[in-house]
């Protein structure tokens, strides 16, 4: 919910102004999963995607919103991609799943078009690493500094790095503290407590936050957004 609002605003603020009005972007999503972001991305152009899991690839293909290739980074980029370059390469809560993140980014940097940008979202704060991260096979959580290091080590020049999901930081931090100090809320705590009324409230709050967090680098939040270009 928050991530999609943030990604939408980031594309419209950081990516679209680089291109002619109403132009169709060439887009690559890395780690598309079952295709939850494909509808959002396809609104801006032609989308290709990479995903390592066979079942997820087949599920994403059924949405008929993108050309979905099976493969992974850094060493198993699908040959079907050829030498194509992209105006936008999106890694949306993906980089934390990749053991060697700089190597993965090094494989992507040459695939950017002259005005191409990499758009990254990652979970923040290594101290919050917990059951949710282990369940989802995360290797790490990031700080702005560690994300900048991975981006630059991957041959990219960061243009924007800032937090989002600021609204959820206080309750999430409290749950993490109770987990660590009192042994409460064990399990996949970040997926708890969904209900329609709260979802509607948070949708409005997240939309308002996204308009700010994609233009101004917020100093805190559960997630981090980065936009980068190939280093010249």
User: Confidence class of residue 126 from pLDDT cuts 50, 70 and 90?
Assistant: very high
The per-residue pLDDT for 14 is: 96
Mean pLDDT of 58-82: 93
Domain with residue 120: its CATH number is 3.40.50.150
The per-residue pLDDT for 128 is: 85
Per residue in 76-122, pLDDT tens? Answer: 889 889 899 999 999 999 999 999 999 999 999 999 999 999 999 99
The per-residue pLDDT for 75 is: 86
Per residue in 166-217, pLDDT tens? Answer: 666 655 555 555 555 555 445 444 444 445 654 554 555 555 566 666 776 6
Per residue in 155-171, pLDDT tens? Answer: 999 999 999 986 666 55
Give the structural domain span for 63: 2-230
Mean pLDDT of 11-36: 96
Mean pLDDT of 34-56: 97
Average pLDDT, the chain: 86
Number of domains in the chain: 1
What HEC string does the chain produce?
A: CHHHHHHHHHHHHHHHHHCCCCCCEEEEEECCCCCCCHHHHHCCEEEEEEECCHHHHHHHHHCCCCEEEECECCCECCHHHCCCCEEEEEEECCHHHCCCHHHHHHHHHHHEEEEEEEEEEEEECHHHCCHHHHHCCCCCCECHHHHHHHHHHCCEEEEEEEEECCCCHHHHHHHHHHHHHHCCCCCCHHHCCCCHHHHHHHHHHHHHHHHHHCCCCECCCCEEEEEEEECC
The per-residue pLDDT for 232 is: 79
Higher pLDDT among residues 213 and 42, named by residue: 42
């Amino acid at each position: 919910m928050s991530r999609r609002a943030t990604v939408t605003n980031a594309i419209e603020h950081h990516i679209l102004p680089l291109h002619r009005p109403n132009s169709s972007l060439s887009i690559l999503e890395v780690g598309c999963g079952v295709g939850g972001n494909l509808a959002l991305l396809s609104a801006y152009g032609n989308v290709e995607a990479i995903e390592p899991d066979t079942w997820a690839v087949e599920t994403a293909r059924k949405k008929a919103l993108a050309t979905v290739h099976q493969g992974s980074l850094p060493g198993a980029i699908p040959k079907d991609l050829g030498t194509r370059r992209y105006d936008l390469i999106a890694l949306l809560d993906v980089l934390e799943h990749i053991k060697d993140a700089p190597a993965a980014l090094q494989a992507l940097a040459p695939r950017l078009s002259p005005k191409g940008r990499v758009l990254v979202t990652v979970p923040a704060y290594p101290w919050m690493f917990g059951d949710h991260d282990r369940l989802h096979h995360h290797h790490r959580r990031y700080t702005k500094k560690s994300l900048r290091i991975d981006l630059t080590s991957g041959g990219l020049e960061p243009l924007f790095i800032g937090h989002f999901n600021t609204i959820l930081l206080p309750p999430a931090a409290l749950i993490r503290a109770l987990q660590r100090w009192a042994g409460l809320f064990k399990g996949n705590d970040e997926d708890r407590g969904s209900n329609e009324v709260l979802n509607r409230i948070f949708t409005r709050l997240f939309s308002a936050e996204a308009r700010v967090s994609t233009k101004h680098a917020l100093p805190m939040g559960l997630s981090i957004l980065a936009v980068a270009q190939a280093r010249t």
